[in-house]
Amino acid sequence: MGVGGYLRRMMLARETGIFLALLLMCFVLSLTTDAFLTSQNLLNVGRQVSLLGIMAVGMTFVLISGEVDLSVGSTYALSGLTTGMLIVEQWALVPAITGGLAVGLAIGLVNGVLSTYGRIPSLIATLGMLSVVRGLALVITDGQPVTVNERQGALEGVLARFEFIGQGYLFGTIPMQLVFFIVVALIAWLVLSNTNFGFRIFAVGGNAKAARVSGMPVNAVKICAFIVMGLLAALAGILSMAFLPSGQAGRTGLGLELDVIAATIVGGASLSGGEGTILGTIFGVLIIGVLRNGLVLLGISPFFQELMIGLVIIVAVAIDKWTAGRRAR
């Protein structure tokens, strides 16, 4: 294949349209505000999109498998609050984090079982779990804020290490939240691209009946996708609690599921299943994050910000569909 063939293949790749939209957005913002291209601001954007990105990676697994999860915001809240409460109860850091991750795993497992063996459409099952998990968080905390500090009982050494994973910097420069996002994205890319499980996720999402006939454990694959989503939502919630060591069940993560799904769809994942890439998801997350950051730098009213974000999502998806159409010819 010559240079022309490689260029044609690159231009027809699913991620190309999304990447071009991101580049165009960055170009416009670099011309309209001097602060956008500074290293400090770009690192801030990286930190700001990290938690959304971690959850969007999990949503990529779920959407590719042909399902959807609306309970991620509630899972994010309950897992972070659980870890915070355990640290206040003077648990060591690793057991406290493990407890928060176990909450996410359990919620993902329940979502998966309800959507497969329970034969409840995932949209309905996870919508119900959204309220169940949020209500559980309210019951456990009695609707009161959870604050993690020494005055509430946290051990000094545990608190210092906990805050580092949310507020610290690797090599004094790279935010730890961004480090977690990069590691999660790399692992997810390897799993989807180079493992039997990744192949099965695409096969099940593309045609569940054909996958079942070929002997694939369709229900088990989908349940595993929901578990991955639950674990990553829990990780994001824990990192959020570590960054701002306070949260409230009625507010933390509220409406977050919409941003996660939007970023993943902008990145090229299909609600009908069988399509999506980690690279595309990263681009989708960056489009959302760069847009929010740029609108703040430009002093745009928060009311117009929501409107413009919606328009950009529509345009980004349209560009992606255009490249998909070119690819199909």
**Quick check: is 316 in a domain?**
yes
What separation, in Å, do the N-terminal and C-terminal C-alpha atoms of the chain show?
Answer: 19
Integer angstrom CA distances of residue 64 from 257, 273, 316: 17, 4, 19
Q: How many structural domains compose the chain?
A: 1
Residue 1 lies in a domain: no
The pLDDT score that the predictor gives to residue 13 is: 58
Q: What are phi and psi of 290, to 5 degrees?
A: -65, -40
Which CATH number fits the domain that encloses residue 105? 1.10.3470
As a whole number of angstroms, the distance between CA 87 and CA 94 comes to 10
pLDDT recorded at residue 328: 55
Contact 308, 291 (CB under 8 A): yes
Higher pLDDT, 102 or 294: 102
Would you state the pLDDT for residue 7? 42
**What is the torsional sign of CA 232, 260, 71, 166?**
positive
Stretch among 165-169, 204-208, 303-307 having the lowest mean pLDDT: 303-307
pTM for the model stands at 0.91
The stretch 108-114 carries a mean pLDDT of 97
Contacts of 238 (CB under 8 A, 6+ apart): 79, 80, 83, 97, 100, 101
Cα 249 to Cα 26, 152, 230, 246: the distances in Å are 36, 18, 17, 10
Tell me what pLDDT residue 34 has: 86
- Residue 275 inside a domain? The answer is yes
Q: Which long-range contacts (CB under 8 A, 24 or more apart) does 273-276 make?
A: 273/63, 273/64, 273/65, 273/66, 273/67, 273/204, 273/205, 273/206, 274/64, 274/66, 274/202, 274/205, 274/206, 274/207, 275/14, 275/64, 275/205, 275/206, 276/60, 276/63, 276/64
CA-CA distance, 14 to 118, in Å (whole number)? 34
Q: Is residue 261 part of a domain?
A: yes
69 belongs to a structural domain:
yes
**Is residue 7 a part of any domain in this protein?**
no
Nearest to 52 by CA among 199, 178, 204: 178
pLDDT digits (tens, 9 = 90+) for 130-159: 999 999 999 999 889 999 988 888 889 999
Residue ranges making up the domain that contains 263 = 14-322
**pLDDT tens track for 256-271:** 888 898 889 888 888 8
Residue 136 in any domain: the answer is yes
The one-letter code for the residue type at 82 is T
Mean pLDDT score across all residues of the chain: 88
Q: What is the pLDDT of residue 73?
A: 94
Q: Give the pLDDT confidence score for residue 205 in this predicted structure.
A: 93
What number is the average pLDDT over the span 208-215?
91
3-17, 134-148, 222-236, 295-309: range with lowest mean pLDDT: 3-17
9 within domain boundaries: no
- Report pLDDT digits (tens) over 69-96: 999 999 999 999 999 999 999 999 999 9
Highest-pLDDT range among 107-111, 242-246, 293-297, 311-315: 107-111
